[in-house]
Each structure stands twice: as structure tokens, then as C-alpha cells.
Amino acid sequence: VSSWIKNVGRRRLRETCNLDDSLEMLLQTQKQFREFDLVASEYCRRGQEALKKMDRWEDFSSVDVDSYRGKLQSHRDQLEEFCTQLDEHRHRICETVRLYEFFDKVRGGSCCTQEAVKT
């Protein structure tokens, strides 16, 4: 999971940072993000399950286990950060699409109103 986040997930999130200027392109970006989101959410779920299994070792005291606690915390932090960024991107794309759709309706209504005023 950690390797996927590092090699694939972060790169794909960066690709969705720049949202296009047209509703059509934005809807295409949203569709692509949804496909990625399904895969990424599954990795987040699997990572969280794996970390939950590792929690039982927290109370175990041993020099061998202590050396892995730092690595485990690093993976936990990486997973939490990625899942948070994924949620933020999901919300941002959804809200941007809604805003563009709203402006398209307003623009369409404005054109109709102008035509009615002219006649």
C-alpha cells in the first residue's frame, strides 16, 4: 500500500490539481478521478486494515518490535495524509463541477432573458 501511494497515488493526485476551464473538460477530469478514486479508496481501506492488525503489537515490549514502531508510524502518517488529500480532491472536484454547472445555467438563463427583452 505504501509503495502504491508513493509511486502511483501521489502522482495521480497531482495530475488532478489543475482543473480545466470548461465544464466539458472538468466533467472528463471528474470521470477520470472517479476511476482513480475507486482504486485509491481500496488501497486506503487495505492500508487501514493492515495498520489495525499491527495495533495489537503496540503493547508488546521488545527491542525487535521497537525498531519497527517508527516505520509503522511513518506508514500510518503517510496513509492518513494520502487519504485526507484524496477526500479533499474528491470534494474540490465535486464542488467545482457544481459551480460550473450553476454558472452554465445562469449564463443560459441570462441569454434567454436577453432574447425575451429584445423581442
pLDDT in single tens digits along all 119 residues of the chain: 999 999 999 999 998 877 777 888 999 999 999 999 999 999 999 999 999 888 776 666 666 666 777 888 899 999 999 999 999 999 999 999 999 999 888 877 665 555 554 55
Type of residue found at 26: L
Distance, first Cα to last Cα, the chain: 63
Domain that holds residue 21: 1-108
- Give the number of domains in the chain: 1
Q: Does some domain include residue 16?
A: yes
Among left, alpha and beta (phi > 0; psi -120 to 50; other), residue 20 is beta
**Contact assessment for residue 41 and residue 51, using Cβ atoms and an 8 Å cutoff:** no
Three cell numbers written together for 55: 495495533
Q: Does some domain include residue 17?
A: yes
Looking at residue 60, its pLDDT comes to 64
Looking at residue 30, its pLDDT comes to 92
Q: Does some domain include residue 114?
A: no
Q: Does some domain include residue 53?
A: yes
Q: What's the rounded Cα separation, in Å, for the pair 22 and 100?
A: 8
Q: Does some domain include residue 113?
A: no
Q: Does some domain include residue 63?
A: yes
Residue 39 CB-half CA count within 13 A: 12
pTM: 0.78
Q: Does some domain include residue 73?
A: yes
